[in-house]
Amino acid sequence: MPSGIRMARDLAALAGRLLVAEQMQLPLGTRLALTDGILRQMDRYTASAVHEARQAGAGWEDVAAAARLTAAQAGARWDTPALRVLFPSLQAAERPRAMQQHLADALAYLQIGSGVSVDEAAERAGLQMPYVLQVLEGVCVPSWPELYTLACVFDGRPEDLRVLWESALGSVHPPRLPAQGAAGYLAAALRGLHLAAGSPTMRRLSKQALLPPECLTEVLEGRHTPPWNTTARLVRALGGRVEDAEPLWQAVLQAAVGLHGTDSSRQLGCEHCRVAAQDGP
């Protein structure tokens, strides 16, 4: 399910295109096609917002009150079968495109939070504005220097986007690092996924990851690395791919074993992490 922030950003992009089309007096058919796209995107945003509210614990009565509907009407409009129509499951061939969109979502979240306009960002990064728009919309993957510069322009940490960038290109290659560096690299990857998911609160994320909010904060800050089952569950909760995260986690384990011996795998994470790992991935 795409995040609400992604749906809202796409909606804003469509509205911007309609404004340009109107200013340039493009053919009526072009403007009406954009209008149809905006109406469809509004439906998708609404469904995504409802889905996120439901995941956060809202009942159908709460949704109905916000939408000025009855609970039965809200359930019928946004239940699972209806969501499947709006958001068909990704096919295997579409997964690389999905990871490209994750990178765009994270960068767009930084851009919105920074308050830096697209044209200002393009000027400061030395890039063309149409190209920056394509990057923010997930149409293309920038080079690492371009992404690094844009992340800095948007007051973000470029290292948080590194693994998302590698994943968008098709593969993740963890560097050889000491134990603390390897753990920090994995934490940065998790923070990137957190950005791409729209930075959900720790309280909301804890319900899916089965970890206390304070523990999640420490994990994202790189203070400790959970066992693999717990890490995999967190990656899934953030909409990431476990196959991208596993080599990063293995690098942490290998570095820890080299430093502390073969019992290191039993000591990864805090007590909450180790208990959660017993519940499976």
The residue from 88, 106, 132 where one domain ends is: 88
The residue from 35, 58, 88 where one domain ends is: 88
Domain that holds residue 249: 179-277
Q: pLDDT category, 33, cuts 50, 70, 90? A: confident
Q: Is 16 within a domain?
A: yes
CATH number for the domain spanning 142: value is 1.10.260.40
Average pLDDT over residues 260-271: 54
Average pLDDT over residues 144-170: 92
Asked whether residue 30 falls in the same domain as residue 47, the answer is yes
Q: Is 170 within a domain?
A: no
Is the pTM higher than 0.85? The answer reads no
Say what the pLDDT of residue 93 is: 42
Instruction: Give 76's contacts (C-beta < 8 A, 6+ positions apart).
Output: 82
Cβ atoms of residues 47 and 86 within 8 Å: yes
Domain count, the chain: 3
Say what the pLDDT of residue 106 is: 93
Q: Is 45 within a domain?
A: yes
Q: Is 173 within a domain?
A: no
Asked whether residue 273 falls in the same domain as residue 189, the answer is yes
pLDDT in tens, 188-239: 999 999 999 888 899 888 888 888 888 899 899 988 888 888 899 999 999 8
Asked whether residue 185 falls in the same domain as residue 273, the answer is yes
Asked whether residue 97 falls in the same domain as residue 56, the answer is no
Asked whether residue 66 falls in the same domain as residue 113, the answer is no
Asked whether residue 81 falls in the same domain as residue 149, the answer is no
Other beta carbons within 10 Å of 39: 10
Q: Is 164 within a domain?
A: no
Asked whether residue 79 falls in the same domain as residue 103, the answer is no
Asked whether residue 199 falls in the same domain as residue 271, the answer is yes
The residue from 36, 64, 88 where one domain ends is: 88
Asked whether residue 97 falls in the same domain as residue 84, the answer is no
Say what the pLDDT of residue 92 is: 41
pLDDT in tens, 75-115: 888 887 777 666 654 444 445 577 888 899 999 999 989 99
